[in-house]
Every structure is written in C-alpha cells, then in structure tokens.
Structure 1
Amino acid sequence: MKKKLILDVDTGVDDALAIMMALSAPDVEILGITCCHGNTPLEKVLKNTLRVLKACNRLDIPVYAGCSQPLLSNKQHASDYHGKDGLGDVPDPDAPGLELVQKKNGVKALIKMVKQNQGEVTLVATAPLTNLAVAVQLDPSLPKKLKALYIMGGNIESRGNTTTCGEFNFVADTEAAYVVLERYTCPTTIASWEFTCSNSLPWSFCDQWLSLKTEKAAFMKNISCLSRTKSQSADYQKEITAGQGFNACDTYALAAAINNSLVTESEQVAVTVELDGACTRGMMVLDYMDLLKKKHKVTIMKKVDLEKFKQMLTNSLK
C-alpha cells in the first residue's frame, strides 16, 4: 500500500522542493496540500503551490487555503530570502489561477482527510503550525487519528535564524507551535534548524543536481537562484547557517516521512516552546532533566544518510 501523506506548507523554495520530492516517490499518495501563511502571504502560497504542481504535471492534487495569519503573533514573512513572491521573484505568466484552489477550508479539509483515513495518514508540516493548532482545537481527537507527524521547525541549540533564539516557523506563530507540541501526542519527528544546517550538502552537488536536463530541474534552478545567492554570501554562511553548503531545509522532514531509515541518528526527548522570553520567545526547549513531566517524547533528527538524501533529491527533478 502507498504511504498516505498530507502536506501543510507555506510554499517558498524549500517547500517547493519538498512537494516535488513527495511527488517523485513511487510509494507515496498525497491526499492533499493545505496552505498556511509563512514564507509569503497566503494568496501567494496558494499560487506557488499550484505552480509547483503544474511543473510536475500534477494539478490533480487538491490544494486548500488554510490560515492567513498567526493565532496571536505579529504576521511576518521571509521575503528577504525567498523573494517577495516566495518563489524567487521569477513570475510565470502562464501560472495556474486561484480558481483551482478547493472551496473547502483547509483546516476542515485536513480534519476530514485524516478522519477518512484513520491511522494511515502521515502529516508533514513545513510551515508555521497555525493550521495544525486550529485543527486540534476543532477536533481534539485528531492527533490520535494520525499515523505520524513530521515537522520542520524549532531549534535544538538556541541558534535562531529569525530572532536571537528563534527559528522562522516557530517564531511566525509561537502560540501555534506551543499548542501542537503540547497536544499532538502521535509519533512526532522534528527536523530542527540546526539539524538542517549540519546536514547541508556541498555546493558542487547542487551544481550537478540542477544541471539535470529536465523541465523540473530548470524550474528549480530558476526559482532557487535568489535564495542560493543569498545562501552563498559570506555573511549569511557565518551568521545564519552555521555551516557551509546547500540547506534543503523543509525537505529533510519530508524525506524522513517518506523513508524513515534515512535518519541515522536521533534522540527522544520531551519538548515545549518558550512563549514569553524577551530574547527566547519561539525557542524550542528540550527537557533533558524531565522537569516538565511530559509523557510524550518527540524524535529529534540528528543525522541522515546524505547519500540516500542526494538520491531522493535527484529523483525529485527527473
């Protein structure tokens, strides 16, 4: 049987790659894609998601509009990195229109898809966690119906990429991140910011990968040009990534959801999110001393098989 995935995205360049990776996996069925504010405003996220599906000739997959703003946090986007439109500011005059977006609300659609496939759905969240937080408020039993949850977000060494100690997805809706890590007690795996940095790939691989003679590779090369230029700048490498190379960010969580044997080192620990600190709001807190007395432990990804990951990236552009 195929693995059933629901993708919750804020489609920027790395979400686009994650979607393409999921589409390239022969044993995966994407039930639907729910969209959230994040890298760019919701309307652009929807447009970007449809652009990716068109590039892969998969506009049959339903796309839903979820939450357009965080629960309580001030709205913010990542236009300095992903571009004002979220996909590198290289517009496509033939891009699909929003009339292709499903009429059903994204959060309600998420709840319905999980209910119809109880115990079979792996939810992959690569956006701020607003949709998931609202969903569990509407249906408190939702986490019990999931097979697993994979999240790209948070940090494990208090190194931020948006604030001093905060990773973008958790800072963009801190209350939602808190709610999800408190109430989703299904098997949960997290790809943190520092983990993605320490498992980055050589730029030489990126060159080779994007040189594939396919329409998908041309699409990815086009939309990633801006973020790649930013990533390769000396200041960005020093101040943000804490490492050298291509960081596929959201794609690590998706890859692990498809093939968990990709993860070669991990640890289980209870986590929460700091809501109040002047410098630490949005920081993921790892409770190694068991002071929180939480029964639910999440799996924190530490290392992956980079050769397997490279092959999955290559397959995504074939």
Structure 2
Amino acid sequence: MTLHFLIDCDPGIDDALALTYAFAHPQVAVEGLVATGGNVSTEQVGRNVRGLLDLLGGQGTPWTLGAENPLAQPLTTTEETHGPLGTGYGLLPGQKEPTGRAYGEGAALWIETARHFPGKLHGLILGPSTNLALALRRDPELPQYLASLTIMGGALNHRGNTMPTTEWNVHSDPEGLHEVLAAYSHPGLDLPYAPLLCPLDTTEQAVMTPQLRERLLAGGGELFTALDGALQFYMEFHEWDKLGFIAHVHDPFVTALAVNRALAANGQPHIPLGEGTPVTLDVELAGTLTRGQVVADWLGRWGRDPNAQALTSALAPEFFEHFIQTVRAAYAPKGYA
C-alpha cells in the first residue's frame, strides 16, 4: 500500500536525512513539502528543499515557502548548528540561487493536500509548527482530514537544547505549537488519532556515531557526499557542545517512527520504534525563564482531557538498522550493498 505524507520541515542537517529516508521508503509518497523557517531562513530552507529534491529524484514533488516569520516573534536561526546554508559542509544543487517563490503558501498546501487525500494524509512536522497553525486558522476542520499528525518538538522531562527547558522547534515559534495543540483540545472532537509529540526525551536516543555514518554513506556519490559533509559539520557542533563527536538525528528517527506507525495502523508489516502515552500538552508563552517550554500534565492537574500523545520510548538500534537499510537500498551507488 501507499502512505501519503505531507512533510513540513526546515532543512537543516537532520531534516535532510529525514527527507532522504522518506523518498527512499518504497511505500511512502511525499505529496507535498512545506519549507518553514527555523534552522535557517525560510528562503534558504526553500533552496535546500529544492536542492534535496533534485538529488533525491523528487523534482515533481509540490513544495512551497511557508511564512517568512513565526506567528508572534522575529525569526531566529541556528547557523552555528547547521552552517550558514543549513547543510554544514554539504553542498546541494542551486543552494545559493533564489527560489523566486512568494512567502506564505505553506498553509494553503496543508489544506489542499489534506482535502485531496481525505482521511489518508499523514502530516509530519520536523520544524516549527508555524504553517500548520496558519492552516488551522483558515480551516479549523483540517484535523478531520488527516490520518495522523506527528511532531518533532519539546522537552518534557528532559533538559532543553536551546534554553534550559526548551527545544529548538518550539522555541522558534511557541505560539505555533500552542495553536496546533489547542485545535486538538476542543471538547467533543472525535478523531481516530491523536497528535504524537516526539520530544528530546526520546529523540536524543537516536545517536549517530562515526561508525553508523560510515555504514550509511559508504560508496559516495553526489547525494551521499552532501550528507557526509553535513554530518561532519553536525558532529563537530555536538563535540563543541561537549556531547562528543556524535550527532542527534532527531528528524530521521521521527520520520521512520511516523512511517512505521502508519503501516501498523493499516495492518501492514512494520518495525516498532517507540510507544506513545496519552497526555494533555500545552506550551508556556509568558514565562520569563521558560517561554517555549512544552508542559505535560502527567497527573491531570488541569482537569483537561488528553489532547495528544507523547512519545515515551524509543528503540534506537532498531531505527538505525532500518534507516540505513532503507536509504542504501534506494540510493547506494551500484556495486555497494
């Protein structure tokens, strides 16, 4: 069977790996990509999406530039983590050439794609939630047209990776995720799924080592050379951040998780990669020290029904085996297993 996905992303090094997996998976059809500003500017994200599509053979995939800025604050970017162009030392085709596209089309792509595949589209957010929030403002019925929604973001019972309690995607646009969670909080909303939030608590268990990197990218070629340069920069950053010469590959893990959960929901063979727990989630918007923190009401103190699931376990070794096999089956140079 074919799984229809819309991916909202901000490549970004781990986003580039995630898109590589999505296009490599034989049962995934990427029906649209939204370029959301986060790791680098929205325009640069769009250039990177275009370049990745060229290397991945996805030139016909619809993609749009999202909003130029978050909902309620200036855009901040993280070139120290992902490099000035967003892919570290890796280079993509046309990466410095303007897209020529207008800002603000991401919300429309969310709505159009969901309504084109009613009940069959799996939404995946790998960056800030800005453009889904804007889509929900325009079309409050949008959740009813999705088959699932998976979001990489937040730090629940875990230190942040940006401020002490915040994860980058939510830190970049706290109001965005707040509005998405609010859309799933209406009393009487009856959906066959709940949004799955994948926080740092679990995604940081997906640790790319030099040995795994070598297995993934052996053989070279234009795509693998670009990804290798990106990972070199990313590992140098993690080493600078006193985490060792490794890379936390949040987005590829979350993408593989979303794909395999979708396969499971359709009764198809799949690889279990983690489990979620129902919980009520919200985002702190006003705290002087904690703005952007995702708060989980584990004990039900708010008296509100769960509006999401939080990923509470991750099987990293199984993920890496699956990820490497999937990517290499599609993109390894001839003569390399």
Q: TM-score, normalised by structure 2?
A: 0.85
Where structure 1 has 5 or more consecutive residues not aligned to the other structure, the ranges are 239-243
Runs of 4+ that moved beyond 3 A: 89-104, 212-215
Contact 1:51 1:96 in 2 (8 A): no
1:280 matched residue in structure 2: 290
- SS of alignment partner, residue 243 of structure 2: helix
The aligned amino acid for 1:68 is E
The aligned amino acid for 1:192 is P
Q: CA RMSD in A?
A: 2.3
Cα distance in structure 2, aligned partners of 1:6 and 1:42: 17
Cα distance in structure 1, aligned partners of 2:38 and 2:65: 13
Cα distance in structure 2, aligned partners of 1:102 and 1:165: 34
Contact 2:37 2:68 in 1 (8 A): yes
2:137 is the counterpart of 1:137: yes
2:200 is the counterpart of 1:193: yes
2:213 matched residue in structure 1: 206
Q: String of CA shifts for 1:288-311, please: whole Å, max 9, x gaps.
A: 121223323422223333343113
- SS of alignment partner, residue 248 of structure 2: coil
Contact 2:205 2:316 in 1 (8 A): no
Q: String of CA shifts for 1:173-211, please: whole Å, max 9, x gaps.
A: 011111111213652112112311134244322233233
Q: TM-score, normalised by structure 1?
A: 0.90
1:227 matched residue in structure 2: 234
- SS of alignment partner, residue 33 of structure 2: strand
The 1:207–1:106 alpha-carbon spacing in structure 2 relative to 1, beyond 3 Å, is same
2:189 matched residue in structure 1: none
The 1:158–1:277 alpha-carbon spacing in structure 2 relative to 1, beyond 3 Å, is farther
The 1:55–1:271 alpha-carbon spacing in structure 2 relative to 1, beyond 3 Å, is same
1:177 matched residue in structure 2: 177
* Equivalent residue runs for 1:30-179 within 5 Å: 30-92=30-92, 94-95=94-95, 98=98, 105-179=105-179
The Cα of 1:93 is off from its aligned counterpart by 6.3
The aligned amino acid for 2:215 is Q
The aligned amino acid for 1:217 is F
Cα distance in structure 1, aligned partners of 2:275 and 2:250: 17
2:272 is the counterpart of 1:262: yes
- SS of alignment partner, residue 159 of structure 1: coil
Cα distance in structure 2, aligned partners of 1:79 and 1:28: 30
The aligned amino acid for 1:263 is L
Cα distance in structure 2, aligned partners of 1:56 and 1:127: 20
- SS of alignment partner, residue 242 of structure 2: helix
2:18 is the counterpart of 1:18: yes
The 1:22–1:136 alpha-carbon spacing in structure 2 relative to 1, beyond 3 Å, is same
2:327 matched residue in structure 1: 316
2:243 matched residue in structure 1: 237
Cα distance in structure 2, aligned partners of 1:209 and 1:90: 15
Where structure 2 has 5 or more consecutive residues not aligned to the other structure, the ranges are 186-192, 262-270, 332-337
Q: Percent identity at matched positions?
A: 25
